[in-house]
Structure 1
Amino acid sequence: MNKRGLLRKRRLLSLLAGLTMTSLLPIAAPGVMAERSALESKMFVLQEPASELIRNRKLHNGTVLQSFAIDNVNQRIYVVQLMAGGQKLAGEAAAVSGANRDKNGDLALTQLDMDGNELGYMYLKGFGHGVQIGVEPDGETAYLWTETDSVTEGTSGWGTQIARFAFENGKVLTATSPELTKYRLIEGADRTTVNVDPATNLLTMRYRLNGSFRYGVYNLSDVKAGNYTPVADVPQPQVGTFQGFASYGGYLYLLEGTSYGTVPVNNTYITAVDLSTGEVMDKQLISAGESLTFREPEGMAIRIPDLKHPQKAQLTFGFASDFTPTRLANLYAIDRLLPAEAIHGQEQGHAKKPDKAE
């Protein structure tokens, strides 16, 4: 074979090899986009027993915790809740009822140490429902990521974009406060809530667009620089009463369920979703905290006990307990991580999915 023919054969073999490799890659579900290199990680083993981090801890207000975030650098927990009724803040003509606080999207933010002791608080007026928050430590300063620009729908206020602000003990912020930096990642979206993966510095925003919930995943540094190109965007699978989310590497975790006060049996589930394909990888009934009174699942976050080993992370989730007007906070954690294929190789009982949607 002459030199030209040899080169032609090499090019053909290279092309065939490329086509073969392409055929081996997973095919994303409709409506899914992802940048695989940014989304590689192990997956939490959801049927693993959870450990208790804090139990029955008081927050600044006595309402149900809505969600939380963990500052792994400064060892702080930030918990957000609807503001309790009967409070009168500076500039308000009179005390405001709890129903109006909910309608207006007014939130209380409590700073805790890792044992669950209160260290400080803030009030956030006109922000939203507090379904999920994130935190970004910068030295000793913690920047909170939350929804903002609340719009009333039904009896509650819900955020329409996301914001970043520094925690400042005792501060009262409104949706128009200059301390906020706002980000509208997707035009026309509402019900915007946010979480930050501390292991990868990926920001995940849950949003509703054209009546459907989705999750967009972004590099945190890109968002702050004004680049809103996602590395992944997947639809939300069918879930029951939605209560929070967190992402870790290539997987998204969704919390759902209602309290013992509204159902007689445990219906708390965690669902794992592959951010590269949108595929539901696992769904498990969660038995942690079954001795709690009331026990309503609320919020998720990633905890990294040792920052030198971000691959040894914990998937944490919360429960509200006790009774009005002194609801209490409880956090639990799952810390076993395995490759997804190893989990699929185990014998697991995939629980039946509830039919109720948000």
Structure 2
Amino acid sequence: MNHSFDRRTLLRAGGGVGLAALGLGYGAGAASAAVPTSKRFELSSVDSHDLYRNRALQDGTVQQSFAFDQTNRRLFVAQLRQGSDSKSGDLCITELEWSTWNAIGHMYLTGFGHAVSIGAQAVGTSTYLWTDVDADTSGYGKRLARFKYVNGTTLAASSSAVTKRTPVSTAVRHTCAIDPTHDRLIVRYLPSGSSVHRYAAYDLTAATNGDFTTRLVDFVEPSAIEAANFQGYTAYGQYLYCLSGHSNTDDATLWSVDMNTGGVTERFVTGAGSTLSFREPEGMAVYTTAAGEPRLFFGFASGDTTNQRLSNVFYKNVLV
């Protein structure tokens, strides 16, 4: 397996904020518990590994995010649908084969959102996807949607096959990620009247049943991340991981945040995929391999031609 070496200077930042000062005043179910302690992925002193490089996706547009169904061993990549206005909320979900990472299927979504982050949830041998839905005038979803992935179909946001959820009643935007190893749904939301995002963590089974009354944590997005060009997030155990950066630059940054304090634990500018053309950071996800190894994934879009962009995914696999 190829390696891509991280080559930039590490910046660590502390200053966590106590939960008593976070998560209150945004409706029922504000922070009432804590996420159990866990190890975190080391971002700076270990190599990044290639999962794959330069894989074609169904519509050739820039990948926005991706998610693994680690039970059924499937990978899904979300993109804006080719030919649709970026504010329409129209998406394409491309499924990649587990070992070759080549595209083997797709599904179109109409009127959903921007897919800054998505989640994949195994239900028997089926996969249910979580995305944002009911796009606002900027193309970002107001609520969350949960639906069964069905290859070769087109699903409208108004379809009865879509279950819609509003985890935070006062929020005007929602996205989510799934920690499949610890069965948690992580929600990034924008409170009404605010320009600052927040995060809340829920038990995945409860969330699936529409129960969002208990938030394990609820905290404001750290200001340094909020100020960066946000490109995705995921979570593993106690820690939230974020990705930021621009295309055609070398500012792709990995962040870890202690969800029990809301403080940045580690910030690292990564050189993974440094030789890629275009190289826009896009999307994060986690899974634990069949052999029991947890992995933190982060992605990049590549390719020199609009609507012929390619998908690239790298990962870290050392816990400290």
Deviation at 1:285, TM superposition (A): 0.6
From 75, 78, 81, the equivalent of 1:77 is 75
Partner Cα separation in structure 2 for residue 174 and residue 28 of structure 1: 39
Partner Cα separation in structure 1 for residue 287 and residue 301 of structure 2: 19
Given residue 146 of structure 1, which amino acid in structure 2 is its aligned partner?
T
| 1:178-207 per-position Cα deviation (integer Å, ceiling 9, x unaligned) | 111111111121231110001111000111
Residue 182 of structure 1: SS of its match in structure 2?
strand
| 1:110-143 per-position Cα deviation (integer Å, ceiling 9, x unaligned) | 0111222111100001101111000001121000
Runs of 4+ with >6 A deviation: none
Partner Cα separation in structure 2 for residue 185 and residue 83 of structure 1: 26
| 1:292-321 per-position Cα deviation (integer Å, ceiling 9, x unaligned) | 000000000002112x63xx3100010000
**2:90 matched residue in structure 1:** 106
**2:38 matched residue in structure 1:** 41
From 135, 142, 148, the equivalent of 1:160 is 142
The higher relative CO (CA closer than 8 Å, separation ≥ 6) is in 2
Residue 54 of structure 1: SS of its match in structure 2?
strand
TM-score, normalisation: structure 2:
0.87
Deviation at 1:174, TM superposition (A): 1.0
Deviation at 1:325, TM superposition (A): 2.4
Partner Cα separation in structure 1 for residue 266 and residue 145 of structure 2: 31
Given residue 193 of structure 1, which amino acid in structure 2 is its aligned partner?
T
From 92, 95, 105, the equivalent of 1:120 is 105
8 Å contact from structure 2 (residues 287, 296) kept in 1: yes
**2:128 matched residue in structure 1:** 143
8 Å contact from structure 2 (residues 91, 112) kept in 1: yes
Partner Cα separation in structure 1 for residue 285 and residue 235 of structure 2: 8
Deviation at 1:145, TM superposition (A): 0.6
Shift of the 302–232 alpha-carbon distance from structure 1 to 2, 3 Å rule, reads same
Residue 149 of structure 1: SS of its match in structure 2?
strand
RMSD, matched Cα: 1.4
Structure holding more helix per residue: 1
From 270, 276, 286, the equivalent of 1:302 is 286
Deviation at 1:216, TM superposition (A): 0.8
| 1:255-288 per-position Cα deviation (integer Å, ceiling 9, x unaligned) | 000011xx4xx00101111111101111011110
Deviation at 1:49, TM superposition (A): 1.3
**2:302 matched residue in structure 1:** 321
TM-score, normalisation: structure 1:
0.78
Residue 53 of structure 2: SS of its match in structure 1?
strand
From 220, 227, 251, the equivalent of 2:239 is 251
Which one has the largest radius of gyration? 1
8 Å contact from structure 2 (residues 181, 287) kept in 1: no
Deviation at 1:34, TM superposition (A): 5.6
| 1:315-348 per-position Cα deviation (integer Å, ceiling 9, x unaligned) | 001000002121000000000001xxxxxxxxxx
Partner Cα separation in structure 1 for residue 262 and residue 255 of structure 2: 12
From 36, 45, 66, the equivalent of 2:64 is 66
Shift of the 27–62 alpha-carbon distance from structure 1 to 2, 3 Å rule, reads closer
Residue 61 of structure 2: SS of its match in structure 1?
coil
8 Å contact from structure 2 (residues 257, 265) kept in 1: yes
**2:171 matched residue in structure 1:** 189
Given residue 244 of structure 1, which amino acid in structure 2 is its aligned partner?
G
Given residue 184 of structure 1, which amino acid in structure 2 is its aligned partner?
T
**Range with bigger deviation, 230-239 or 249-258:** 230-239
Residue 73 of structure 1: SS of its match in structure 2?
coil
8 Å contact from structure 1 (residues 34, 276) kept in 2: no
Residue 114 of structure 2: SS of its match in structure 1?
coil
Deviation at 1:59, TM superposition (A): 0.4
Partner Cα separation in structure 2 for residue 39 and residue 284 of structure 1: 25
Is 1:271 the equivalent of 2:255? yes
8 Å contact from structure 1 (residues 39, 251) kept in 2: no
**2:21 matched residue in structure 1:** 30
Structure 1 vs Structure 2: percent identity of aligned residues? 40
Is 1:169 the equivalent of 2:169? no
Deviation at 1:35, TM superposition (A): 2.1
**2:203 matched residue in structure 1:** 219
8 Å contact from structure 1 (residues 66, 79) kept in 2: yes
